[in-house]
Every structure is written in C-alpha cells, then in structure tokens.
Copies of this chain bind each other. A is one copy, B any other.
Amino acid sequence: MISVQEALKTILENTQDFEVEEIPFLESVGRVLKEDIVADRDFPPFNRVAMDGIAINHRFFEHGVRDFKIEGIQPAGSPQEKMDNAANCYEVMTGAVLPENTDTVIRYEDVEIHSLMATVKLDALEKGKNIHIQGKDRKQGSILIPKNRVITAAEIGVIATVGKSTVEVAKTPKMIIVSTGDELVEVNETPEAHQIRRSNAFTLVSLLEKWNIKAETSHITDDKEQLKSKITNYLNEYDALLFSGAVSKGKFDYLPEVLEELGVEKLFHRVTQRPGKPFWFGITDALGMSARDREQGKKNSTPIFAFPGNPISTYVNCLAYFYPWFAKSAGVELKEEIVILGDDVSFKPELTYFLQVKIEIKYGHLVAIPVKGNGSGDLASLVEADGFIQLPKEQTAFKKGEIYPLLRYRSF
C-alpha cells in the first residue's frame, strides 16, 4: 500500500512520448499544440486605420486648419493610396491601410462633411490618433502562442491569422476501456434482480473526451482464461489500458494475477485513499525500452490503470491519476485549483479522503460544499457534485475556511 503522493509520482515517471500529428486547424480545439505559433508578419501588418473617419496630416491641424478637402477614399482591402496634397484629407475605413502623407485619423463623429469638404469639430487632437501602428501588438517572428497549451477559440483566431491551415498537435493515445464483473448487463438490457447495467466504461469514455481521446470499450466476464486471451490482444493493440473492477480482494478479482502472468510489471497495488483504494497500476517493459528501441520504432511501453469497480472509485481515480498522466505525456502543465472548505468535515481513517463537493462562488471565493453521498457505490451522487477535494490522510478534522486542492469535473 502506498500513499496518493507516491502513486502519482510513480505514474508521472511512466508517461508516454506521444508523437505529433498535423491536423486541419479548425479541428484542433481541445488538442495540445506541439509547435510554437510565430507571427509571419508584424501585427498589425501595416499602419492600420482604427476608426471610420478622415485621415489628415497633423501639421495642418496644428496650424489651425479645420477644413480639409476630401481628396479620395481608402477602403479596407485596397492597396495603400497616396494623398497628393498634404493639406487635404482622405476618407478612411476601419481596417484600411493609412494613406501615404497622412498621420492622424479623426472619427466621423468629430467631423462634419458637406459635399467634398470635411470640417473638424475638435479643438485639440493628438498626432497619430486612431491609428494602430504597424507591429505595435507583435513583431514579425515573435512567438504568439507557445507550444504545449490546450487550444481554445482564442488560439484558433491567431492560428488562422498567421496562415496555418494545418497545425501540429499531440497525438492522442489509442485506448480501450475494459469493464469486468459478471453482474453487469448492457445498457439496453433489462437486468435480473441480481444484476445491474454497465456504466463505468461509459463514464470513463466521457471523461476521456475532455482530452479528445476517443476510447473503445470492452467487457470481460470474471473468467481467468477470457481475461488472459483478451488482454494479450489489448496489450499489443493499444497505447494505454483502463480497467474498471476485479482488483479488490474478491475470489474472482483475477485481474492483478492475470496482468502479472502476462508479464506486466506491477508498480503498485492499493493506495491509502478512500474511495478508490484497490487501484492497481502497472506497465509493460517498464525498464526494457532503450532509446535505440524507440528509434527503431518499438512501441511505447503500455501503462495499465486498473481502477476498482465502484463507480465513484473509478471516477475519482481517472481524475486523480489518468488526467495528470495524460497531461504530462502530452506536455501540458495542469494548474492546481484550490478551494475553501465550506463546512466542517471529520474523517477518521488514515487515508487520503476524496470528498465530493459542490462549488459555489461567493464574492470571488471558491467555496466547496460537501455533498452527502452514501459511499463509493452511490453513482447518483456524482450528479449533485462538481468535483472532489483532496483531504490529507494525516488529519482527521477539517475545518470550514481551510483550503484544499480540487479535482473538478464540471465547470460553470
């Protein structure tokens, strides 16, 4: 039995080297960017008109001129015009190139236009006003988005602007989620009195969607030979395996021995936590892969996350262990979310306690309100919570107002 901290450390020492793939930029939301996005030109790429109005040469305004003859018009999307007479003005549109020989833009609201003359209604005017100077935001060649971040709509705009119609992202691992247990029937079946429907596998599929992993699912009955032959195939076919069930002390919990018989190296079994204690973690070829193996195209070693089958156990272990494993493998740094306990909690066993909480925001404070569930089998309680707070095993009393880390699965 090891601690949550040791378990996590072991898992993070066994991340995979996901490779990169190039995909159409518009399909990249939620993926992990694996190249720096660099400005291909200055931002903005020219002295850009920032308001609809007229462009003048400020010198004339300074000398008291308020009436300007309109010499021409500079629409957005047209090549730069040149104003021949510096005493004139040009009508200019937002997004247009500033015409040559002008240096200041006055918006229409501050101008009166009558036939071909514009009269400025201002007493004072700053030189360079309403112009977005070339390169002011970013210089050509500067890094606009550093690699290793999760792409959102904000990044998509920048990626489009620099002309990257495809973009390099971390490949997602090919994964299968395997449920076990003879008591389980399919979702569309009507269970007998002693049966229940499969749900953990689908919960895990949905949790993995956050990372754009499209996992397959499978079910194996509590039969040693079945387990052995199916898992042999999965170890060859998939980059990572998640199991739910068959790792506890039951007579038919064959999974740990089957995995070890198949040569998977057990890195730990059982973690001092509740729920989720019987978690088993192992890896194929933990030490067997050299840099040269990798060069020669040898498959990554395959980690096996075997979670206990109680629904809350499976759920919290996916958040607490698989998420950090995936993030580190993909190169993403996860930020820790810290919340304020909203009620006194007491928990006696010397185990790290993952407590279900609802998050409320009060005056900018993240307050975690404990959700009263009925233990690790109470699937429905997940619906009432937003996440789990992690309460350390060294303490038994946790006071309202203290702060603890949150594993969140629902945002606002």
Contact = CB atoms under 8 A, between A and B. Distances in A.
Interface of A: 25-26, 29, 39, 41, 43-46, 48, 50, 52-53, 73, 75-80, 91, 93-97, 107-109, 132, 136-138, 144-145, 152-158, 160-165, 181-184, 187-200, 202-207, 209-210, 222, 248-253, 309-311, 315, 334-340, 361-367, 373-375, 377-383, 385, 403, 408-412
Contact of A183 (B77, B189, B411, B412): B77
Nearest to A26: B202
A67 B139 CA distance: 81
A250 B45 contact: no
Nearest to A382: B154
A95 B250 CA distance: 10
A385 B157 CA distance: 14
Contacts of A75: 182, 222, 250-252
Nearest to A249: B52
This chain's copy number in the assembly: 2
Given A253-B52, A366-B364, A379-B161, A315 B137 contact: no
Best-buried of A108, A157, A380 by chain B (most CB within 10 Å): A157
Contact of A26 (B29, B205, B309, B381): B205
A107 B251 CA distance: 12
Given A43-B379, A80-B194, A156-B203, A187 B25 contact: yes
Nearest to A29: B206
Contact of A190 (B157, B163, B210, B252): B163
Contacts of A200: 157
A377 B52 contact: no
Contacts of A53: 249
B374 A160 contact: no
B337 A361 contact: yes
Contacts of A379: 43, 137, 157-158, 161
